[in-house]
Amino acid sequence: MNLQVVYCNHQTARLGLRERIAFATEDQLARAYEELRSRFPASEHVVVSTCNRVELYTAQEKVEDAPSHADLARFFSEFHQIPLGEFFDDLLEQTGPEAVRHLFQVASSIDSMVLGESQIVSQVKQAYECATRSQANGPLTNALFQRAMTVSARVRSETKLVEGRVSIASVAVGEFGKSIFDRFDDKTVLILGAGEMAAETLRYLKNEGVGKILVANRSPERARNVAEEFGGEPRPWETLDECLAEADVIVSTTGATEPVVDRERFAGVRRKSRGRPIFILDLGAPRDFAPGVGEVDDNVFLYDIDDLEATCERNRRARVKEIERAHAIIEDETARFMQDVYHKATGPIIKRLRETWHDVSRQEMEMLFKKLSHLEDRDRQQIERSVERIVNKLLHPPLETLRDEAKAGTPHGLLDAIRQLFHIRD
């Protein structure tokens, strides 16, 4: 069995690159899964694509069926129409236990920009569910992602990573927003998009006593639902420019594949708002606001995902001990998971080998007993027990070695050798 992941994230690649290789919609993901099945029919696949990371997990029953790092990079290149040389060095690869450890770190938010943030857990779960709907996953990725949810829960219950400001929304508003505004109770907040991140941001802003909430979304129903939940006012998407001019704070999480607001459009909006300070938090990936929007005038404060890095790193340094505890849990869970995987891989081979040898011994004894028909039943039973002990003793060293190898690490080499030596077929 084989596991691998290729990925880029906020630590390895700039937002501009992550935007280009992201899978922004479920329709796009469905097409990606169809293409992956066509290219790598012997593989299971799960894609995790968020504002901070793009990751492709694959699994195979046989190591020789695994696509190479270059094969998977070519998939990204051809699917997104991006020259391979522009991102190959930023697309990293992990295999085996390292791939398992990586997912456990992601799901536990150890690898997140905001340490301990809760949103990544649901994002990983949603990615797994999307792969399931597309029938892209399989037994090994099922076990991996289900275990990742368990590991995440254990880290959250046994450490203090979740204490304090831990979500992207709370850090963004608490750190950046409060550097611009002393208070929010007299401010109008505009939410673009109505997904989970928008809802989380609204919860935090409500705790800050925000004055007025506007919600704009291409789906009137989703805008209405969010507005009703938080006491806001839904606005038609067609009135976006008026909403932008009215807002003091804008939080954008639309999931659009292209910028929703470019510099020229926003410059027109600013002429209507008389240049008062405006705080824009662009949490979309790809970005919803073109970078030039922040340069329209000195009172436009535009922040995107990459701008959170310094603040998040400060939180990370303050939680070193909790990180160490979390890493210890993840190491323990990684070892357990790999032992389970290797046990499942070696179990059928051990069973087949035992069955084969005992079948041969029984056939030989039957031929022997036909020649020695004068033997009493008691003598036959003694011979059968002796032969069975001989077979078990001969099998014990190779099978014990195989079990030890499975506990210590990958047993693939021994498995292949046993298959060839004893002509065991899958």
Q: Is 361 annotated as a binding residue?
A: no
Q: Is 196 annotated as a binding residue?
A: yes
Decide: helix, strand or coil at residue 186: coil
Q: Is 123 annotated as a binding residue?
A: yes
Q: Is 53 annotated as a binding residue?
A: yes
Measure the CA–CA gap between 50 and 65, rounded to whole angstroms. 28
Q: Is 268 annotated as a binding residue?
A: no
Q: Is 1 annotated as a binding residue?
A: no
Q: Is 193 annotated as a binding residue?
A: yes
**Strand order of the sheet with strand 249-252?**
233-235, 212-216, 188-192, 249-252, 278-282, 300-304
Measure the CA–CA gap between 24 and 11, rounded to whole angstroms. 20
What is the distance, to the nearest Å, from the Cα of residue 235 to the centroid of all Cα atoms in its chain? 34
Measure the CA–CA gap between 416 and 412, rounded to whole angstroms. 6
* Residue partners of 414: CB distance under 8 A and separation at least 6: 401, 402, 405
Tokens encoding 6: 């290729």
Number of other residues whose CB lies within 10 A of the CB of residue 53: 23
Name the residue among 402, 415, 353 with its Cα closest to residue 2. Answer: 415
Contact 208, 173 (CB under 8 A): yes
Q: Is 381 annotated as a binding residue?
A: no
Strand blocks (E) in 163-269 = 188-192, 212-216, 233-235, 249-252
Decide: helix, strand or coil at residue 59: strand
* Residue partners of 108: CB distance under 8 A and separation at least 6: 151, 152, 155, 156, 161, 326, 329, 330
Contact 190, 243 (CB under 8 A): yes
Q: Return the active site residues.
A: 51
Q: Is 197 annotated as a binding residue?
A: yes
Q: Is 112 annotated as a binding residue?
A: yes
Measure the CA–CA gap between 209 and 425, rounded to whole angstroms. 67
* Residue partners of 347: CB distance under 8 A and separation at least 6: none
231-241: b (≥16 Cβ within 10 Å) or e = ebebbeeeebe
Measure the CA–CA gap between 192 and 252, rounded to whole angstroms. 5
DSSP 291: G
Q: Is 51 annotated as a binding residue?
A: yes
Number of other residues whose CB lies within 10 A of the CB of residue 398: 16
Q: Which residues are annotated as a binding site for NADP(+)?
A: 193-198
Q: Which residues are annotated as a binding site for substrate?
A: 50-53, 112, 117-119, 123
Q: Which residues are annotated as a binding site?
A: 50-53, 112, 117-119, 123, 193-198
